[in-house]
Every structure is written in structure tokens, then in C-alpha cells.
Amino acid sequence: QVQLVESGGGLVQAGSSLRLSCAASGITFRGKFIGWFRQAPGMEREFVSGIGTSGMTYYADSVKGRFSTSGDSAKPTVYLQMNSLKPEDTAVYYCAVRTRYVSDYRSTDEYSMWGQGTQVTVSS
């Protein structure tokens, strides 16, 4: 069974750092575009970051300069390094595999494989 599992979330103070991991079982990330999304209570799921097949990375304006994503396309793990965390970063964070190329990488409709999410809570 194909499965994505996020880990590394937790409760931290503003200004702290966390590194999230997205591990895959049953698939390889080689040749795939991997996205990170987050969802706060009552809010729509929003794009955070992505890494393409060539290693090019993409970021939402709200996290650019603070977050970075990395990984090896040949191994089933990608990472989201989150620095200078703010209370507004509080959300459940998900990784996902893009399987549709009709809109763009920021759309949740472009992804069909999702992890269960990991909670990130940033206190002031």
C-alpha cells in the first residue's frame, strides 16, 4: 500500500525551528513533484513549498526566506526546514505527490497522494 507519513511537528516558541520529514512507503520520489501544504482550523489548505524533479524549489510568499525544502529524488524522504517560526505558521502540515498538471503546483487539485499530516503549533 502506498503511504506518505509526515513527522517532526510539535509545539515550539516563536522564532524557533523545526524540520519536518515526509517518508514514503511503496513508492519512490524519483521523477515526482512533491508539495508541502498546511491547513489551519476553519481555513482552506494552502500551498507552502514544493520541490520539482530537477531539484528546483518553490515557496509561498508567506514563508519565502524562512522555510526550505530538500531531499533526494532517489530516496523516499523529503524535508521541510522551518526557521523563524511565527504563530501564524500554526497548522497541520501535509506532504503530497503531484499527479495532475492542469493548473499549477499551488493547487491542491494537482495532488492525489497525501500524508496524514503533522501538527505544528507556534506559541508567542
Strand partners, 11: 121
- Residue 68 phi/psi, 5-degree rounding, is -145, 145
- Is the distance from CB of 42 to CB of 48 less than 8 angstroms? no
pLDDT of residue 102: 95
pLDDT tens, 23-57?
A: 989 888 888 999 999 999 999 999 999 999 888 99
Predicted local distance difference test score (pLDDT) of residue 23? 94
Rounded CA-CA distance 19/10 in Å is 10
Which pLDDT score, from 0 to 100, does residue 73 have? 59
pLDDT tens track for 67-116: 999 986 567 899 999 999 999 999 999 999 999 999 999 999 999 999 99
Nearest to 106 by CA among 58, 62, 54: 58
Please report how many Cα atoms fall inside a 13 Å half-sphere around the Cα of residue 98, on the Cβ side. 23
pLDDT score for 37: 98
